[in-house]
Amino acid sequence: MPGLHQHVGKIFADLAVPDPLADGGDLECRSPVDGAVLGTLTSHTPDQVSAVIARSQAAFEQWRTVPAPVRGDLIREFGQLLREHKSALGTLVSIEAGKIESEGLGEVQEMIDICDLAVGLSRQLHGLTIATERPGHRMMEQWHPLGVVGVISAFNFPVAVWSWNTALALVCGDAVVWKPSEKTLLTAIACTGLLRRAARAAGAPEDIATLVLGGRQAGEVLVDDERVALVSATGSTRMGKQVAPRVAARLGRTLLELGGNNAAVVAPSADLDLTVRAVVFSAVGTAGQRCTTLRRLIVHRSVKDDLVRRLTAAYRSLPIGSPLESSTLVGPLIDDAAGQAFTAAVGTARAEGGTVVTGGTVHEQISQELGGCYVRPAIVDMPAQSTVVRTETFGPILYLLTYDDFDEAIRLHNEVTQGLSSSIFTLDLREAERFVSATGSDCGIANVNIGPSGAEIGGAFGGEKETGGGRESGSDAWRNYMRRATNTVNYSPDLPLAQGVTFS
């Protein structure tokens, strides 16, 4: 699409952040909208990444002494800048990640929301006062800043997930080093530039939030450096299985948000009008490239035909095209490799006995016209026993499974290795309560009468099993970014020992 490069330049000018695009670097900044290279950037060498970590450590040692409510002032400034530049940043997300207009703006709103939460949290980093058996003593628990936090983010949420980590880490007194996906470098540079502007306004250390660019090599330095107290990594399960043991080998901490193979159960009593709306967004939003995308639909046999008819009609009416057009609901896949994975998965589903109900092909006309990789979202009716259904494909493929009794639905739901998000559509109170109970969904997120995709800032976000077990965003996720100290203060002249021990 002509003019995207110039559009990016105008966005950086609007943000008052230097335009980073130049010739000669090894990292291509490519837009999935038209597949064209916007410009190039240069990777950091391992020595340069190490130097960034050293500067971040020095900034942390200064920042941790600043009172938490004062640290909150930095995030307040950052949130205000995000509000002022929401439109420009949202467009940049659409250009670089391929999200439709409303989703690009929604991702920036997520950053604003986490800033609001973090500012309030800066006055609530509370510990406990604990009853002690020893007279004249007080026992309490405090939370202290942890250190340097390394954030490794994925392309599908190029700025929101970083902000979840960064807003909380900064009010907790930490420093942050961010290695974004190589596929979404411009949004990372833009957000880091705005945060640095906020840091100057708030009087915070310059290197409290830094950025390193590069591929696997840059990430490995973050993973292996003992000065990085916590590595928060978002990506595939395969990536997480490589990161976790390397950080554990140096006894560091990890916060992992990995793969999802999310399902929704549709019960006989489900409101099908509501179900269709929720399923379509959850399955095709972000062109099926969310970690919370709905990938498996487990439908009771009695309502399957009616639901499939409605879903098929909805899918065939979906506007597919440039995410920069306000009428578009399905934008491009991130690159051609994603398109190849999509078509390969559909082929595997057919080979395993699946029937393609609708979609499942590259949209050749739009792909040729615009230059990116655009596909027709697929619905595939599958037998229960199949390999592809248990595999996460980052694309808009919805597998249909059929059940006859509720126990069977729960079994089908839980038998995959991933455990991120889940939902049930039912008006039966017993089914709803069973689904969110200990004997129901085994995921970190379990919803009733809403889809599995899309989460509010106030709740902790994350999953179980091969999703990694991490929790980000709301609730008590802030504790990931702090260390706990238990303190006992003796204000008596005596020295009684716990458990009645005597040592005279």
> pLDDT digit string (tens) for 220-237?
999 999 999 999 999 999
- Distance from C-alpha of 2 to C-alpha of 433, rounded to nearest angstrom: 53
The model's pLDDT over 139-180, given as tens digits with 9 standing for 90+, comes to 999 999 999 999 999 999 999 999 999 999 999 999 999 999
Instruction: Determine the residue type at 259.
Output: G
Residues 70 and 199 both lie in one domain: yes
Mean pLDDT on 46-66? 98
Per-residue pLDDT at 2 exceeds 70: no
CATH number at residue 39: 3.40.605.10
User: Which letter does DSSP use for residue 244 in this model?
Assistant: H
pLDDT classification of 1: cutoffs 50, 70, 90? very low
Question: Residue 16: left (phi > 0), alpha (psi -120 to 50), or beta?
Answer: left
Give pLDDT, residue 234. 97
Mean pLDDT on 483-496? 97
Number of domains in the chain: 2
pLDDT classification of 5: cutoffs 50, 70, 90? confident
Give pLDDT, residue 204. 98
Beta strand extents in 332-433 (DSSP E only): 355-358, 378-381, 397-403, 418-419, 421-425
Residue 450 burial by CB count (10 A; 0-12/13-18/19+): exposed, middle or buried? Answer: middle
State the SS3 of 100-166.
CHHHHHHHHHHHHHHHHHHHHHCCCCCCCEECCCCCCEEEEEEEEECCEEEEECCCCCCCHHHHHHH
CATH number at residue 316: 3.40.309.10
Q: Name which of 13-22, 119-128, 210-219, 322-331 the model is least confident about.
A: 13-22
The model's pLDDT over 262-308, given as tens digits with 9 standing for 90+, comes to 999 999 999 999 999 999 999 999 999 999 999 999 999 999 999 99
> Which residues carry out catalysis?
257
The model's pLDDT over 359-384, given as tens digits with 9 standing for 90+, comes to 999 999 999 999 999 999 999 999 98
Question: Residue 325: left (phi > 0), alpha (psi -120 to 50), or beta?
Answer: beta
Give the rounded percent of residues in the chain with a pLDDT score beyond 70: 99
Q: Is residue 309 part of a domain?
A: yes
Q: Is residue 210 part of a domain?
A: yes
Provide DSSP, 201-241.
HHT--GGGEEE---SHHHHHHHHH-TTEEEEEEES-HHHHH
Q: Is residue 455 part of a domain?
A: no
Give pLDDT, residue 327. 97
Q: What is the pTM of this model?
A: 0.96
Residues 280 and 321 both lie in one domain: yes
Q: Is residue 63 part of a domain?
A: yes
Per-residue pLDDT at 22 exceeds 80: no
The model's pLDDT over 401-444, given as tens digits with 9 standing for 90+, comes to 999 999 999 999 999 999 999 999 999 999 999 999 999 999 99
Residues 83 and 213 both lie in one domain: yes
CB 380, CB 334: distance < 8 Å: no
Residues 67 and 201 both lie in one domain: yes
Structural domain for 335, as ranges: 262-448
